[in-house]
Structure 1
């Protein structure tokens, strides 16, 4: 597929890296020569210096031959203009990254199509939704909902006394009468493992499991975790859009304190969030955090635009034994090292945006894509179509990539945990954990 990416910042670069690895033909445009140089040196594709909302530059980049245009710069107007030009030139799929919340509001007078974009992605709203899921599942380090909540992907760290530690996975399955859950990935010593039946789990393992939501509570119990009481007191560092979305969603459900260092922004936020206490101050000031009763908080969420401040403040919250510390960290290079310093609940706005863009690009066969911070692979939800190779024989006879595993199948609204005798039927939605090298073969099996 020919894909034209407008913007070579963190989102565009990571998107280009992922798509080129999946053997798409990519071209990336940016007006910043340093970003263009980085893309040219590190990506398998063409990098062009110029403005992405220039028709001349887009034509130079092969606009009329493109199957998809993904405009992911930091400029809403430039992204939408690039999409409008692409649509006028006959491009089939256009995707825009947009930060202005008005464009995605239900009462906005223009539809995405009228704006020129087939799909609009709002990074701040994506991040807020991911944080809200983590606040709901307080025993998990990661929670991802698929199929409107019909399937959950749960990540948790095993303690030494966990009942899952010791026996092989096959023995655990027999002990618990093959429960409706599948462990699809384990992060151990900074290595991602796709476990087999003979593998064993160890203390400190970060385990990812796929199950139906109604079984999540029981799985927490099997893992030695117990769902803690819901979050009643939440402190948020940073008064931007993410904080506002979170506070609005939790209005009347929790006591919210928001700390914002910019006085004008703090005053604006106080005016639109009457149910929250907005404090003007520095969220990395330990005296301020102590004065605002940090040690009494159930959750601490750091969502400023500064990664380092978010990390430092969240570490302070950990020292104060806050039950649920969550950090927004956008620098992708930081993500693999954060679990080593104790930060397991981390949200990356950039990677959430990349996931959403990639899903729209592969929308014919893929229903959802989700990255797991600090983990090499992805959760991908494929749709089995009539006549595809994956529907022709039982799974044990399918040449399935070794670096991928089917965690669950959604069939007629029911969650099935597949085995070797399972035959996927047209319309089935298969939730698969896959390392990068497996994706091209999975695409062929499902397309």
Structure 2
């Protein structure tokens, strides 16, 4: 398959890294010559210097034969024009990154009228992820399935956890409800836990259960306060694009919200857009400002400034004050590791969220007729994947056979099955059926369709 990517920025580079290993031919187009040369050298792909919305450049890139055309420049208009032009030339599927809220309001019209197959808004998706994290304050990250009815949470085993020093088999004495520990990350290593696995302080575990039972799980982590009191207020530092979408989510959930923004014009604009919230024109990284604005009275602190370092430091301070939940926007991979090393596990990275959405879409198009990919997430610092397959026909080796009789790869685990809107934690006697949604956790294994979970497929 052939893919063309317009825009070699953060998202573009992430896509080059992903697709250079999965597509037969990858071409990057960017106006910055040095950026193109760098990406071509690192990922062994084709490069073209120029404007991706220029028809001559598209013809030179052979867009007419592209299976996938993706435009992720910093300009919404260029992304839309490039996709429209590529579609007219003959590109099979087109994807555009659209960040302006005004365009998002006419999303369906743009898709139907202009032929853009997928529009991705990184700020909206980041805001949605933050909101989910506020709903489950103990979780570092939340991945949702089947229209948010079922979740996989990433949590930390700390010194207060009842599970500390307990084996997975022994944990059944405490975890007396249907659930599954899907994956563990320990000291940078990722593995599917077996019965003799022992929970240790610092382990990042991915667990799934019903929403009701996930709340019970909080007790086992030593976070009883998070169970008894919901988060109902948020202090947001920075009036970024993410902030606008996040305020929408928070307002609908009746959160008390305050935003501190250092730029006067941005503060005024946000205040005029959302007169019902408190917007403060001040430096949100200043200690006196934070104290004066009552940071210690908020349930959560969300740092969304343009500086990763500033976001991490603000959240460290909020943690010290006992704020229940903190979330920081962190883009740089090196800083994400530093953040985790100092105990800052809850962060969002918009470029990775967009990369996941685009990869899910491309995987769906590459999938077999026996299964379609409904959801796709990277977890454990992108070392593993969670994929939700929709079983659409009986042309699959996994259908109608008891799971204990299937030779499933050791690096793959069936987390749960969704059948008739119910979550099933399968045992060896269960079978996969047509119309099931099957959620699979996988690492070090390439999965394009459901049969790929089998050894020797």
TM-score bracket for the superposition, by shorter chain length: over 0.9
Q: How does 1:4-403 map to 2 (within 5 A)?
A: 4-105=4-105, 110-173=109-172, 176=175, 179-226=177-224, 227-251=227-251, 253-364=254-365, 365-372=372-379, 374-386=381-393, 387-391=395-399, 393-403=401-411
Q: Is 1:425 matched up with 2:433?
A: yes
| Structure 1 contact 237–259 (Cα < 8 Å) conserved | yes
CA deviation string 1:74-97 (max 9, x = no partner): 111111112112221232221111
Deviation at 1:340, TM superposition (A): 0.7
Greater CA drift, 349-358 or 393-402 = 393-402
Post-superposition Cα deviations, 1:264-315, rounded to whole Å, max 9, x if no partner, equal 1111111111121111111111111121122222111011222222122222
Q: Secondary structure at the match of 2:8?
A: coil
Could you report, residue by residue, the CA deviation over 1:27-56 in whole angstroms, capped at 9, with x for unpaired residues?
Answer: 222221222122112214322222211222
Shift of 1:157: 1.0
Q: What is the CA distance between 1:442 and its match in structure 2?
A: 5.7
Cα deviation for residue 444 of structure 1 reads: 4.1
TM-score, structure 1 as length reference:
0.92
Q: Summarize deviations over 1:304-357 as a string: whole Å, max 9, x none.
A: 222222122222222222111110112234333321111111011110100111
Matching of residue 404 in structure 1 with residue 412 in structure 2:
yes
Instruction: Kindly provide the CA deviation profile for residues 167-203 of structure 1, in whole angstroms up to 9, marking residues without a partner as x.
Output: 32233347645x3211111121222222122212112
Q: Report if aligned partners of 1:404, 1:434 keep a CA contact under 8 Å in 2.
A: yes
Runs of 5+ consecutive residues of structure 1 not aligned to the other structure: none
* Higher normalized contact order (CA 8 Å, seq sep 6+, divided by chain length): 1
| Aligned residues of 1:68 and 1:94 also touching (Cα < 8 A) | yes
Moved more, 65-74 or 350-359: 65-74
Report the CA distance shift for 1:64/1:399 in structure 2 as closer, same or farther (over 3 A): farther
How far apart are the structure 1 equivalents of 2:259 and 2:126?
17
Contact 2:383/2:443 (8 A) holds in 1: yes
Quick one: distance in 2 between partners of 1:289 and 1:50? 46
CA RMSD of aligned residues (A): 2.3
> Structure 2: how far apart are the matches of 1:404 and 1:16?
26
Give the number of equivalent residue pairs. 445
1:205–1:355 distance in 2 versus 1, CA, 3 Å: same
C-alpha distance in 1 between matches for 2:160 and 2:183: 20
Work out the CA distance in 2 between the residues paired with 1:14 and 1:109. Answer: 27
